[in-house]
Amino acid sequence: MSLASNSATEATIEGLRGLLGERLSTSMAVREQHGRDESWHPTEAPNAVAFASTTEEVAEIVRRCRASGTPVIPFGAGTSIEGQLQAVRGGVCIDLSGMDQILEVNAEDLDCTVQPGVRRKQLNDYLRDTGLFFPIDPGADASIGGMTATRASGTNAVRYGTMRENVLSLTVVLPDGSVIRTARRARKSSAGYDLTRLFVGSEGTLGIATEITLRLYGIPESISAAVVPFTSIEGAVDAVITTIQSGIPVARIELLDDVQLDAINKYSGLDYPVQPTLFLEFHGTEAGVAEQVRLFGEIAGEFGGGDFQWASQAEERTKLWQARHDAAYACKALRPGSEIWATDVCVPLSRLAECIAETREDLKSASMPVPLVGHVGDGNFHLCFLLDPNAPEEYREAEELNRRLVQRALAMDGTCTGEHGVGLGKLKYMADEHGEALAVMRAIKTAIDPDNIMNPGKMLPGTN
Amino acid sequence: MSLASNSATEATIEGLRGLLGERLSTSMAVREQHGRDESWHPTEAPNAVAFASTTEEVAEIVRRCRASGTPVIPFGAGTSIEGQLQAVRGGVCIDLSGMDQILEVNAEDLDCTVQPGVRRKQLNDYLRDTGLFFPIDPGADASIGGMTATRASGTNAVRYGTMRENVLSLTVVLPDGSVIRTARRARKSSAGYDLTRLFVGSEGTLGIATEITLRLYGIPESISAAVVPFTSIEGAVDAVITTIQSGIPVARIELLDDVQLDAINKYSGLDYPVQPTLFLEFHGTEAGVAEQVRLFGEIAGEFGGGDFQWASQAEERTKLWQARHDAAYACKALRPGSEIWATDVCVPLSRLAECIAETREDLKSASMPVPLVGHVGDGNFHLCFLLDPNAPEEYREAEELNRRLVQRALAMDGTCTGEHGVGLGKLKYMADEHGEALAVMRAIKTAIDPDNIMNPGKMLPGTN
């Protein structure tokens, strides 16, 4: 499809100005700020940014955009990392950050309903007094709407699942401006197609979630976190695999290679041994946590694990996990002035050691630092290419390393992205991963968004 | 749509006879056996039954049926209970029971891939030596294909989730005869729409799963089961709610009212006190199970729980759970010669006590026995109307009681079915439950099955 007609788009934007007043911006600074995410993908500014405040307003904006064939790009916190926000065909960006209300917490049902602009840390701050928490934690302080759109996960997924398992229901504005609710608040249902799961991970290409009902969990009676260095990355990975296969219900089990550990030490002012390292957390009753720790200790000993550094106090744990969540920023500091190209893949656990070993072998010849970090309990790991923004050859090199990483993961029955999403960055791998199933995805896209106004050019190759 | 043209269907069937030989049956006995499930819905026989043995064969049958507009109804074990199998527009039933191979078990990855005709007990028998098990257990010894199609759950769902959470990937024959794989074997992915979850629970209306990759779990080190009578059903339900809210990871927590308990005693030769009763099971390490038992014991004591009858030996547990799984058959025996109309709803846990209380009040005037049994840890419960097959007024009465049950659940933000599916029986409630979202389901159906050949007339009202 071609770019939306300029005059029709301009007329739509003028109309939206009447609707939203100062909450419709066409200033270059605001547009550029909304035409990028935290990825290396170049900014592509939308024609205008609409700051929506209600579901009805989102619906009205979408209806008007549809009437003129104007693309619509939803925006939460801007923290995606595969080029999910670039306005490749122009259009109107709907900024949902102002829709940041926690609408209800049903403590008895262990669920809550929030607006899409709520940030994950905001939600957990709010929940603290209830004794509940929401576990999904991508590195950035992302919005719940964005996390829903990219099917985010993070460090707790090995125990609590990803957004796939933790969204109970959505209120969605469809491309025709109608508003649906994808499911009831019951924990399970066999009543029809699973629309909730269809919209989770759809990256804004099917509609815009304006209310999100999430599962919550009781804050465990006992939490204990530890940092454990290993003599080799293979040993660390094998310890993870054995832990998962033994059914030890670790809450978090994160791998950092020596490059990443060094980066974190420097960025966060820590002094962990510069070795391949696991960051772990155990949740349960006191007795349960003690048992998990004992069992994991035996496994770590078998695979070259060194001294455990424990963090049992909430404050120490927060510091530890903040350091882990800051991994990407720490990487950036490792090569001042560099730009980050973050990528991730996920493979069956039995192939993880092999996939990481081959990847590290491949990275030996890389001309830039490439820290490796991973949610290895899920078989998911990340690379972080640190690129000189003025060296296009480095981008070509990263592209090639990334391509080989993805092909390696696919050959092991893995996926081209475990949690970052497709955006623009993984578009080219969708056909290799899905084969003929891609035609089903396209048929669904066309059925729900026949005019292709919802975040066009993302996720599905050939739809821009 | 009208019925498929008889002559085109007949020609298709003759062609299939050439393809399948004796594995294509048009005998009245075989057709009638395949035109019903275990529900009260009258038999509607297909024109022919095709016993398929490979994915390619299923694809070829579907292609031929599509060419002549002949409906296709997949058949596993025939144990569904909402009228999922009736050939309301005639057509070809594809019997998948011969595709009963366990294709691979990846013990290291805690997954396996099976053909759709594998039964749940067969799978667990096969797995026993590996130390792994598959937890999803609807009452009947259903096929994995059928369980996938109805998004089945059962007694373990409170801890292990339903088919929604436990299917990793599917090989699906689409209505045009093409074959897709919905996902890789990685534990998580953010690469595109969640086709796996779209096909799970689609009741054969979008395609036919011919390979199913499932999550497996390690058999717990320690398992303990108990039967606990309560002085009142309210007390039993409140004990369940408190248990779940306290985060005690019970593996099973099942409610049977006094009528159901009596039925089970009689059918299975047991002598439990005829009171509202919980059947429970705890999984974990020895210390973990002991802790769970202690915590639950305190809660039960608070809410009028009586003496625990423990079953720690595998054999005793099997007997206990077989009795629970035979609940439906036990009901039938309670009123010899009766026909069962089983129904289920699921509500948020905080509304469960109220929903059950109002339902029991409503049942007081019922002219037939109506045992109540439920996977109450999920907020899911069942009624079993025991009807005189020769008394149409009883069916009308059940219809009305069922309608009020569903409306009550919907008013509490629940769903018209937690695990039985829609079939023909819950068709009329889909609009009330989903509102405008039903249009999205229809759009998806049309996009994937434009000729409406896949199990037409089921799940989506207005598609027959």
**ipTM of this predicted structure:** 0.96
Task: Kindly give the pairing relationship between strand A92-95 and strand B222-229.
Answer: unpaired
In this complex, do A188 and B441 lie within 8 Å of one another by their Cβ atoms? no
Does A41 fall in a domain? yes
**B313 and B232, same domain (yes or no):** yes
**What is the structure's pLDDT at B193?**
98
A427-461 in b/e form (b: 16+ CB < 10 A) is bebbeebbeebbebbbbbbebbbebbbbbbbbbbb
- CA B268 – CA B261 distance, rounded (Å): 10
Q: Which pLDDT band, with edges at 50, 70 and 90, does B28 fall under?
A: very high
In this complex, do A184 and B429 lie within 8 Å of one another by their Cβ atoms? no
**B44 and B23, same domain (yes or no):** yes
Does B187 fall in a domain? yes
What is the arithmetic mean of pLDDT over B246-258? 93
**B294 and B389, same domain (yes or no):** no
pLDDT tens digits, B67-77: 999 999 999 99
pTM of the predicted model over 0.80 = yes
**What is the structure's pLDDT at A6?**
82
**B238 and B167, same domain (yes or no):** no
Does A451 fall in a domain? no
10 Å CB burial of residue A21 (0-12, 13-18, 19+) is exposed
**What is the structure's pLDDT at A30?**
98
In this complex, do A379 and B186 lie within 8 Å of one another by their Cβ atoms? yes
Residue A208 phi, psi dihedral angles, 5° rounding: -125, 120
Contact B117, B94 (CB under 8 A): no
Length of chain A: 464
**A348 and A415, same domain (yes or no):** yes
Which of A245, A431, A426 lies closest to A345 in space, CA to CA?
A426
Residue A29 C-alpha, separation from nearest chain B C-alpha, in angstroms? 31
Does A209 fall in a domain? yes
Output the domain CATH number for residue A389. 3.30.70.2740
**What is the structure's pLDDT at A247?**
86
Nearest-5° Cα angle at B356, B352 to B357: 115
In this complex, do B193 and A202 lie within 8 Å of one another by their Cβ atoms? yes
**What is the structure's pLDDT at A380?**
97
Which of B273, B281, B268 lies closest to B306 in space, CA to CA?
B273
- CA B306 – CA B296 distance, rounded (Å): 12
Which of A297, A227, A283 lies closest to A260 in space, CA to CA?
A227
Provide the domain count of chain A: 4
**A252 and A311, same domain (yes or no):** yes
In this complex, do A162 and B434 lie within 8 Å of one another by their Cβ atoms? no
Does B461 fall in a domain? no
Last residue in a domain, options A218, A252, A285 = A218
Token pair 């629309």 in the structure block, residue: A195
- CA A405 – CA A105 distance, rounded (Å): 42
Q: What stretches of A216-357 adopt beta strand conformation (E)? A: 217-218, 222-229, 252-256, 277-284, 309-311, 339-346
- CA A341 – CA A277 distance, rounded (Å): 22
β-pair partners for A310: A226
Q: Which residue of chain B comes nearest to A376, CA vs CA?
A: B187
Contact B148, B163 (CB under 8 A): yes
Q: Is the pLDDT of residue B464 over 80?
A: no
**A209 and A238, same domain (yes or no):** no
- CA A83 – CA A423 distance, rounded (Å): 5
Kindly state the tokens that stand for A216. 């919550």
Is A413 at the interface with chain B, CB within 8 A?
yes
What is the arithmetic mean of pLDDT over B378-403? 97
Output the domain CATH number for residue A147. 3.30.465.10
Last residue in a domain, options B51, B75, B98 = B98
Task: Kindly give the pairing relationship between strand A380-387 and strand A339-346.
Answer: antiparallel
Residue B193 C-alpha, separation from nearest chain A C-alpha, in angstroms? 6
Residue-averaged pLDDT of chain B: 95
**What is the structure's pLDDT at B283?**
94
- Which of B159, B187, B237, B415 best tests the A interface by mutation, with the highest count of A CBs <10 A? B187
Output the domain CATH number for residue A241. 3.30.70.2190
pLDDT tens digits, B260-314: 999 999 999 999 999 999 999 999 988 889 999 999 999 999 999 999 999 878 8
**B199 and B109, same domain (yes or no):** yes
**Chain B residues touching residue A178 (CB < 8 angstroms):** 436, 439
Does A271 fall in a domain? yes
**What is the structure's pLDDT at A139?**
87
Q: Is the pLDDT of residue B399 over 80?
A: yes
**Chain B residues touching residue A189 (CB < 8 angstroms):** 151, 346, 415, 417-418
The list of chain A residues with pLDDT below 70 reads 1-5, 463-464
Token pair 């972080």 in the structure block, residue: A384
Contact A236, A245 (CB under 8 A): no
**Across the interface, which of A152, A435, A460 has its CB nearest the CB of B180?**
A435
10 Å CB burial of residue B404 (0-12, 13-18, 19+) is middle
Q: Is the pLDDT of residue B393 over 80?
A: yes
Does B134 fall in a domain? yes
In this complex, do B419 and A447 lie within 8 Å of one another by their Cβ atoms? no
In this complex, do A192 and B151 lie within 8 Å of one another by their Cβ atoms? no
**A213 and A226, same domain (yes or no):** no
Output the domain CATH number for residue A94. 3.30.43.10
pLDDT tens digits, A337-348: 999 999 999 999
**Across the interface, which of B187, B191, B285 has its CB nearest the CB of A433?**
B191
**B271 and B311, same domain (yes or no):** yes
**A185 and A79, same domain (yes or no):** no
Domain range for A274: 222-328
In this complex, do A110 and B380 lie within 8 Å of one another by their Cβ atoms? no
Last residue in a domain, options B201, B218, B235 = B218
Does B230 fall in a domain? yes
Percentage, residues of chain B above pLDDT 70: 98
Residue B349 phi, psi dihedral angles, 5° rounding: -55, -35
**B320 and B336, same domain (yes or no):** no
**What is the structure's pLDDT at B164?**
98
- Which of B190, B208, B214, B222 best tests the A interface by mutation, with the highest count of A CBs <10 A? B190
8-state DSSP, A280: E
Give the number of A-B residue pairs with CB atoms closer than 8 Å.
276
Is A103 at the interface with chain B, CB within 8 A?
no
**What is the structure's pLDDT at A2?**
40
In this complex, do B109 and A197 lie within 8 Å of one another by their Cβ atoms? no
**What is the structure's pLDDT at A1?**
37
Is A165 at the interface with chain B, CB within 8 A?
yes
pLDDT tens digits, B133-192: 999 999 899 999 999 999 999 999 999 999 999 999 999 999 999 999 999 999 999 999
**What is the structure's pLDDT at B2?**
40
**What is the structure's pLDDT at B1?**
37
